[in-house]
């Protein structure tokens, strides 16, 4: 089992548990049929409704790997959705593919600009990412409301609707978009040295600089990519309902995205990141919502339910917690050496770490010591 697989094992286990629980309550949960020439079923729903979150999480992964954070993605979703819908609604032929293409291009272009703005604040002006992106988080939603005039803009455009409701050989377009983005990102950062450079800067910016990596350009690019991902998510969200809601589109999705990235094993402190982990994280977060709906968890307890599962994932991912739980059972681990003196005693972590977590998890060390 590779190091990567081992890291993903715990979130995978939780996801399997969630799906199994659903299967127990709703026997038809795993059924996938074809309705109107399109795949249909709970599992498809999870991926379909999870697409916007997945897209944003992918962008967020790179930003977090660079030791940053982007709080503005929800606002960018709203701006992108508002722009696309307003353009289509104002066009002479809302149903023409050219109109839709122009609207989507404008929305994505604007999102890229917003991402670029974030990157500029963070990399060039050196404003703390959390503060820099907070500006756009607040202002962006205002901009979205300005664009829509505070109203929900409804569009009646078949080509735009097909972005969400259409299919490519029975596979929903949303899934195709998600898969294509994952593939593109993987090719970009994992088949080139880009990912390595990002990890280098995120792990130790100064060392990266001394090694000759242009951190500024890289950071700006990462925030721009994140903006485009959020813009794409905005297009998908608004195409889904055929409307743009400046107040609610993508509201709090930045928190879900950060959660998805963290569940996937990317550290908030920057450095190593995992695309597969993020995909898994986003699917878990979305499965949680679907589980609440299909199992009929009362809305009053839904948040508690979600919190408990997330807590569980975090506990399982903590090497220290796993070691503590496993300790009483021994598992053939060499007994802990008796302390020989106050100064010489190996710390608890040192005793536990080598066996329980393995040396393959260098990034998982708590706080730099």
Partner 1 sequence: MNKTLSTAAAAIALVTAATACGGGGGEGQGGGDDAIVLGFSQVGAESGWRTANTESIKNAAKDAGIELKFSDAQQQQENQIQAIRSFIQQGVDVIAFSPVVESGWDTVLAEAKSAGIPVVLTDRAVETDQKDVYETFLGSDFVEEGRKAGQWLVEEYADSEEDVNIVELQGTTGSAPAIDRKEGFTEIISEHDNFEITASQDGDFTRSGGQEVMQAFLSSDDDIDVLYAHNDDMALGAIESIESAGLEPGEDITIISIDGIKDAFQAMADGKINLVVECNPLIGPQLMDLVGKVHAGEEVEERITVEEGVYTQDEAEEELPDRKY
Alpha carbon distance 257, 250 (integer Å): 11
CA angle 332-333-337, nearest 5°? 135
Q: How far is the CB of 283 from partner 1 (least distance, A)?
A: 15
Q: Of the two residues 246 and 270, which places its CB atom closer to partner 1 in the complex? A: 246
Q: Which two tokens stand for residue 248?
A: 């609610």
Q: Of the two residues 134 and 251, which places its CB atom closer to partner 1 in the complex? A: 251
To the nearest 10°, report the CA torsion of 16, 258, 228, 158: 50
Q: Of the two residues 109 and 166, which places its CB atom closer to partner 1 in the complex? A: 166
Q: Of the two residues 118 and 243, which places its CB atom closer to partner 1 in the complex? A: 243
To the nearest 10°, report the CA torsion of 19, 20, 22, 28: 100
Handedness of CA 124, 125, 130, 136 (dihedral sign): negative
Upper half-sphere CA count for residue 356 (Cβ side, 13 Å): 24
Q: Which of 11, 6, 2 is nearest to 282 (CA)?
A: 11
Cβ-proximal residues to 83 (8 Å cutoff; 6+ apart), any chain = 103, 106, 107, 110, 147
Q: Of the two residues 119 and 246, which places its CB atom closer to partner 1 in the complex? A: 246
Q: How far is the CB of 25 from partner 1 (least distance, A)?
A: 8
Alpha carbon distance 83, 244 (integer Å): 9
Q: How far is the CB of 250 from partner 1 (least distance, A)?
A: 9
Q: Of the two residues 62 and 236, which places its CB atom closer to partner 1 in the complex? A: 236
Q: Of the two residues 38 and 353, which places its CB atom closer to partner 1 in the complex? A: 38
Alpha carbon distance 133, 119 (integer Å): 9
Q: How far is the CB of 92 from partner 1 (least distance, A)?
A: 20
Q: Of the two residues 199 and 254, which places its CB atom closer to partner 1 in the complex? A: 254
Cβ-proximal residues to 149 (8 Å cutoff; 6+ apart), any chain = none
DSSP state of 331: T
Q: Which two tokens stand for residue 57?
A: 């999480």
Q: How far is the CB of 35 from partner 1 (least distance, A)?
A: 5
Alpha carbon distance 364, 366 (integer Å): 6
The continuous run of DSSP H or E covering 39 comes out as strand 38-40
Q: Of the two residues 154 and 192, which places its CB atom closer to partner 1 in the complex? A: 154
Instruction: Determine contact, residues 65/270, Cβ cutoff 8 Å.
Output: yes
Q: How far is the CB of 128 from partner 1 (least distance, A)?
A: 26
Task: Outline where the chain has alpha helix (H).
Answer: 3-25, 42-65, 73-90, 97-119, 129-148, 158-165, 173-190, 194-203, 205-210, 215-241, 253-263, 275-295, 299-317, 319-326, 348-356
Q: How far is the CB of 260 from partner 1 (least distance, A)?
A: 17
Q: How far is the CB of 96 from partner 1 (least distance, A)?
A: 22
Q: Of the two residues 40 and 120, which places its CB atom closer to partner 1 in the complex? A: 40
- In the complex, the residues that contact partner 1 under the rule CB under 8 A are 26, 28-29, 35-36, 38, 40-42, 45, 49, 145, 150-152, 154, 165, 237, 240-243, 245, 247-249, 289-290, 292-294, 296, 299-300, 302
Q: How far is the CB of 21 from partner 1 (least distance, A)?
A: 13
Q: How far is the CB of 310 from partner 1 (least distance, A)?
A: 18
């Amino acid at each position: 089992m590779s190091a990567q697989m081992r890291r993903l094992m715990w979130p995978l286990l939780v996801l399997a548990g969630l799906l199994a629980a659903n299967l127990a309550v709703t026997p038809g949960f795993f059924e996938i049929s074809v309705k109107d020439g399109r795949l249909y079923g709970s599992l498809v729903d999870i991926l379909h409704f999870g697409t916007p979150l997945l897209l944003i999480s992918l962008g967020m992964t790179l930003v977090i790997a660079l030791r940053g954070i982007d709080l503005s993605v929800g606002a960018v979703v709203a701006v992108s959705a508002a722009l696309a819908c307003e353009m289509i609604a104002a066009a002479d032929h809302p149903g023409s593919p050219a109109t839709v293409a122009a609207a989507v291009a404008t929305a994505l272009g604007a999102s890229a600009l917003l991402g670029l703005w974030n990157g500029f604040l963070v990399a060039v002006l050196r404003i703390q990412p959390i503060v820099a992106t907070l500006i756009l988080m607040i202002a962006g939603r205002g901009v979205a409301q300005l664009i829509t005039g505070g109203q929900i803009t409804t569009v009646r455009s078949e080509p735009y609707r097909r972005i969400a409701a259409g299919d490519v050989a029975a596979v929903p377009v949303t899934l195709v978009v998600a898969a294509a983005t994952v593939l593109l990102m993987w090719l970009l950062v994992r088949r080139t040295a880009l990912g390595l450079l990002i990890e280098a800067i995120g792990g130790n910016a100064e060392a990266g600089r001394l090694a000759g990596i242009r951190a500024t350009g890289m950071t700006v690019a990462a925030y721009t990519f994140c903006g485009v991902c959020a813009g794409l998510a905005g297009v998908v969200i608004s195409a889904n309902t055929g409307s743009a809601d400046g107040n609610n589109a993508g509201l709090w999705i930045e928190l879900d995205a950060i959660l998805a990235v963290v569940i996937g094993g990317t550290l908030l402190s920057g450095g190593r990141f995992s695309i597969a982990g993020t995909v898994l994280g986003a699917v878990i977060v979305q499965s949680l919502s679907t589980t609440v709906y299909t199992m009929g968890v009362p809305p009053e307890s839904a948040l508690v339910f979600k919190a408990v599962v997330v807590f569980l994932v975090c506990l399982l991912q903590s090497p220290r917690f796993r070691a503590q739980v496993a300790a009483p059972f021994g598992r053939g681990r060499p007994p802990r050496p008796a302390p020989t003196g106050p100064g010489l005693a190996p710390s608890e972590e040192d005793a536990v770490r080598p066996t329980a977590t393995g040396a393959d998890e260098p990034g998982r060390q708590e706080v730099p010591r």
